[in-house]
Structure 1
């Protein structure tokens, strides 16, 4: 389950994903409620299940992901951002899970991912009230990693990506896997899982390259092998 060629099927050349919207004042404002009103109960159920699968695919990408939140990230929009590893919000961000105001609940992972991110009590408060947060409030709550000035969120995310890019791609994949899976386990099991992930980087060419570059006092050149 750990070895990338078995689990992933093929090697990707991508190292970091930066997810942003090209629509002004909106990262993603959630579901189309007019469309939802015309769906049957079975269609709604299938729709939610499909979204859950897509979001899970994003969350389990074997590379770091950064969400750039400018404008509204509400309902499914915030649930989408929660699937990313790092979140950067601009000053105009409006962030929340207002589903209970519509007599529904966050159905694309919001109840689970937000609770794991900021704690059960805070997540319950935000979901029960349907409160909408601004960028600074979201930072204070721990929902986003950074709250930056208007117009600088995407450049800031690119700067973060450039900090990540030089590092070993297999090491990044294994570190992400160790964190994401390990947090769901008790400490002893998590440490065992971490050891299993570490074992995957030991035979790599990149590990040898890192040691050689350190000894030669030069930047390493990693090939993901």
Structure 2
């Protein structure tokens, strides 16, 4: 079993299940860790290295509660040190919903003195998720509102169904986004568009999100309500075949480079490239190219 040392402070259920692969018409085993409103699965077989993180609180439309955030935080920490992980997909196990944002019922009875600390905890968790060294993909198959959208903004890639609904709606509640939305959204869609969306609390569909560059892909929803998730799996398969060290260093170079001027960014790129030179994966890539075969990367 995988992940038996993770989620150590949270009751969990371990299971081994079958995951149907609709792309290759085959099945592969899945190792599952289920906790408070949150499920982590590690795929094997044809999709070795793909880890899925699934929201699972149908009774609240996956609203972010304290316990759910604790589960998410534990999952992020375990993935951070898992060298076998290649790609992470964030999605929902609840049909027609991604994440409705903060659990407002829980928030309503929270003492005012605790609210600031709780929001700070959410922001730190989302930042930790953003800082994961491997690629992350959000599969948005339903409404992603408030904190739900803010978590997806921390992903490297976002995929939405055309009928998904996304928005930072906090101003409708007399507050502002507190999970990084005022900072990450402008960097993705530009300041003017982000201001309009945040000031109005407007909710847009997946197709509109694609038009403004908020998501990478908008796909037609299917009867199972998991079209974005299937697209994310397809993309994850493609990414997981590449050199894992190279992909991680490329992510680091891009993210850190965005925070500095061009000349400093180019120096960061050079430094990260240098780290690939002495790896076994680089030699394997060259040999595989010469032998006209797919490379077998080992993350070494």
For normalisation by structure 1, the TM-score amounts to 0.94
| Structure 1 equivalent of residue 67 of structure 2 | none
Instruction: Report the Cα distance in structure 1 between the residues aligned to 2:105 and 2:229, rounded to whole angstroms.
Output: 31
How big is each residue's C-alpha offset from its partner over 1:66-102, in whole Å with a ceiling of 9 and x where there is no partner? 1110111000000011111111111331000010111
| Structure 2 equivalent of residue 120 of structure 1 | 191
Instruction: Report the Cα distance in structure 2 between the residues aligned to 1:185 and 1:92, rounded to whole angstroms.
Output: 36
1:179 has 2:254 as partner: yes
How big is each residue's C-alpha offset from its partner over 1:5-50, in whole Å with a ceiling of 9 and x where there is no partner? xxx9845211011111011221001011122122222211111111
Higher helix share: 1
1:62 to 120, 133, 142: 133
Instruction: Report the Cα distance in structure 1 between the residues aligned to 2:80 and 2:188, rounded to whole angstroms.
Output: 30
**Contiguous gaps of at least 5 residues in structure 1:** 1-7
Cα contact 2:80–2:133 (8 A) shared by 1: no
SS in 2 for 1:27: coil
| Structure 1 equivalent of residue 277 of structure 2 | 202
4+ residue runs over 4 A deviation: 8-11
CA 194–156 in structure 1, closer or farther in 2 if over 3 Å, else same:
same
1:105 has 2:182 as partner: no
| Structure 2 equivalent of residue 5 of structure 1 | none
Cα contact 1:96–1:132 (8 A) shared by 2: yes
SS in 2 for 1:219: coil
| Structure 2 equivalent of residue 71 of structure 1 | 142
Instruction: Report the Cα distance in structure 1 between the residues aligned to 2:271 and 2:118, rounded to whole angstroms.
Output: 36
| Structure 2 equivalent of residue 24 of structure 1 | 95
1:135 has 2:210 as partner: no
Instruction: Report the Cα distance in structure 2 between the residues aligned to 1:205 and 1:41, rounded to whole angstroms.
Output: 54
| Structure 2 equivalent of residue 3 of structure 1 | none
Q: Greater RCO between the two (CA within 8 Å, min separation 6)?
A: 1
1:45 has 2:120 as partner: no
Give 1:216 deviation, angstroms.
1.1
Instruction: Report the Cα distance in structure 2 between the residues aligned to 1:104 and 1:197, rounded to whole angstroms.
Output: 40
| Structure 2 equivalent of residue 170 of structure 1 | 245
For normalisation by structure 2, the TM-score amounts to 0.71
Instruction: Report the Cα distance in structure 1 between the residues aligned to 2:80 and 2:163, rounded to whole angstroms.
Output: 40
Instruction: Report the Cα distance in structure 1 between the residues aligned to 2:161 and 2:80, rounded to whole angstroms.
Output: 36
Instruction: Report the Cα distance in structure 1 between the residues aligned to 2:113 and 2:246, rounded to whole angstroms.
Output: 42
- Count the aligned residue pairs: 218
SS in 1 for 2:98: strand
Q: CA RMSD of the aligned region, Å?
A: 1.3
